[in-house]
Each structure stands twice: as structure tokens, then as C-alpha cells.
Amino acid sequence: MPTHKISVTVEKDSIRVEPEMLTMTSLDEIHWAGTTARKFSIVFDHEGVFGRRELEHSIATTKQRPRVKGRFKYTVVSAEDRAVKLDPVIIVEDPPTGTKP
């Protein structure tokens, strides 16, 4: 089961993520890693994908495994200024056949 890292750069007036779109399987893990000292949270439209709607910085930076499959737009929000946001995408697919959890 691979672990994916999304790099998050939060500046005073902007946010960048790499990659902006990630495709992973339901068996993979993911975490967001800040490249600056500025904190951020990850906010989804619904609770489903990781069991909660918002992942605070301390949770987002630890490994998470998705609970459902689908295409999920999420918002990276600066902890200093909640008006500074970016909307990337995560796609969760079935694992390859023959892969066990």
C-alpha cells in the first residue's frame, strides 16, 4: 500500500499544492506536508472520504486512508487567513485485482 504525500506551500496571500490532482486506490494512504511554517487545514464538501469534513493541520499531516471511492474536490485553507484557499482534487479508485487490504 503506497503512501502519497501532497506538498502544501502556504504564503501570506496564496497556497500551492503539488500534485494538484492525485489518483490513489482505496488501500493507499495520504498525508499533506507543509513546506513553510504556516499551518493549514483540509476541508471537504462532505465527511465521507476520510470520516470527517475538516482535517485540522495536526491530522492532515498524519497518514490517512480513504473510506470511500470517488472524485473529491477539497479546499486547502490557511490557518492565518481563512480567505486564502485553493481547491485541488483527489480521485480514489479500486485497488488492482488480487490486492489485499
Question: Which tens digits make up the pLDDT trace of 45-100?
Answer: 888 799 999 999 999 999 999 999 999 999 999 999 999 999 999 999 998 876 66
The order of strands in the sheet holding 3-10 is: 15-18, 3-10, 29-34
Helices (H) and strands (E) in the chain — how many of each?
A: 1, 9
Q: Please state, in angstroms and as integers, the Cα–Cα distance from residue 72 to each residue in 44, 47, 87, 89, following that order.
A: 7, 11, 10, 6
> Exposed, middle or buried, 50 (CB in 10 Å: 0-12/13-18/19+)?
buried
**Predicted pLDDT at 100:** 63
- What angle (nearest 5°) sits at the alpha carbon of residue 49, between those of residues 54 and 4? 90
**Predicted pLDDT at 75:** 96
CA distance 71 to 28: 15
| pTM recorded for the entire structure | 0.88
CA distance 100 to 88: 29
